[in-house]
Structure 1
Amino acid sequence: MAAADVVLVVDDDADIREAIRRIVAKCGYSALTASDSRAALRAADAVDGPIRLLLTDVWMPGDISASTLAGRLAGRYPDLRVVYVSGLSKELAVDKGLVGANASFLEKPFTPARLVETIRAALGDSGTGIR
């Protein structure tokens, strides 16, 4: 893992966002956080270097959906990986048109181990867990 591996965590629930940030940091990644899509875009503007992973809640407050956010960031960072997180099942999120059928998806509630596994799989990182 390179020192520049940045994970952008977007969730409107401050407790969930902070818990994910702590786990991401314990895995050795640099974690940015945002409460909505507009804040995520501002955070991306402020970061020096590429963002490797967008870990975003499916339901976003405001006028920019999670999938639109992912598309905008993918335009800036061609190697960006995206994991959608939701209390909905993936099947329901796909049925509602919130994510594509091939999207990486993590259903809430999840354990820290499951979060780490999902992050590592999305990034192709062979690390063994929380450090």
Structure 2
Amino acid sequence: MVAEYRHALHPLRDAPEMLASATVLVVENDPVTRELLETILQTAGCQVLAVPNGNAGLLSLCQQQAQIDWLVTRVRLPGLVDGWLLADEYHRHNPDRPVILLSETISDAECPSVDAVFVPPHAPMRVLEVLKGLAGAKLIPVVSHELQRAA
């Protein structure tokens, strides 16, 4: 399955310069989605730190904050550390840069005031499209709810 994506990615090498040299922290508990995101982002020229849970994500943010340019995290993660907490920690050092949050559904009550772009977790290519757009744009806080409601 991953090999199929690699063949389809050649046009994606035109990522903006800022993205092509960026380090992206991916926090995703599903191993298949995590591997797909890692492969897609690496093919676009990103350095990727991929971790399986919020605890490892928080540790990576604390230890390597200066090297992490973008955060892609699932909202709901197993354990005590979720995507909201990771977004808050990331924004302490990158207050004007949105986080890409992976979520099937988010209600308004669950959405704190955080600069984020919401992407369904089953759309890893959309993550790259969003990152390319953000990297090529002036970094202005953005809140965009691009969720497909579960039927």
> One fold, TM greater than 0.5?
yes
CA apart distance, 1:115: 2.6
Equivalent in 105, 115, 118 of residue 118 of structure 2: 105
How far is 1:24 from its partner?
Answer: 0.7
Change (3 A) 1:56 1:43: same
Corresponding residue number in structure 1 for 2:64:
47
- Residue aligned with 1:123, SS: helix
SS at match of 1:49: helix
* SS of residue paired to 2:107: helix
Structure 2 residue 47 is matched with structure 1 residue 30 = yes
Give percent identity, aligned residues only: 26
Q: Select which of 73, 76, 79 maps to 1:62.
A: 79
Tell me which structure has the larger Cα radius of gyration.
Answer: 2
Q: Give the unaligned 5+ runs of structure 1.
A: 126-131
Are 1:7 and 2:24 an aligned pair? Answer: yes
What's the CA shift for 1:21? 0.5
Go from structure 1 to structure 2 and tell me whether the alpha carbon gap of 1:11 and 1:29 turns closer, same or farther (over 3 Å shift): same
Cα distance in structure 1, aligned partners of 2:115 and 2:89: 18
Q: Count how many residue pairs are aligned between Structure 1 and Structure 2.
A: 120
Conservation of the 8 A alpha-carbon contact between 2:103 and 2:121 = yes
SS of 1:47's partner is helix
Once superposed, which parts of structure 1, at least 4 consecutive aligned residues long, lie more than 4 Å away?
98-102
Aligned equivalent of 2:131, options 116, 119, 123: 119
Residues in 2 aligned to 1:105 and 1:18: alpha-carbon distance in whole angstroms: 19
RMSD of the TM alignment (CA)?
A: 2.5
TM-score normalised by the chain length of structure 2: 0.67
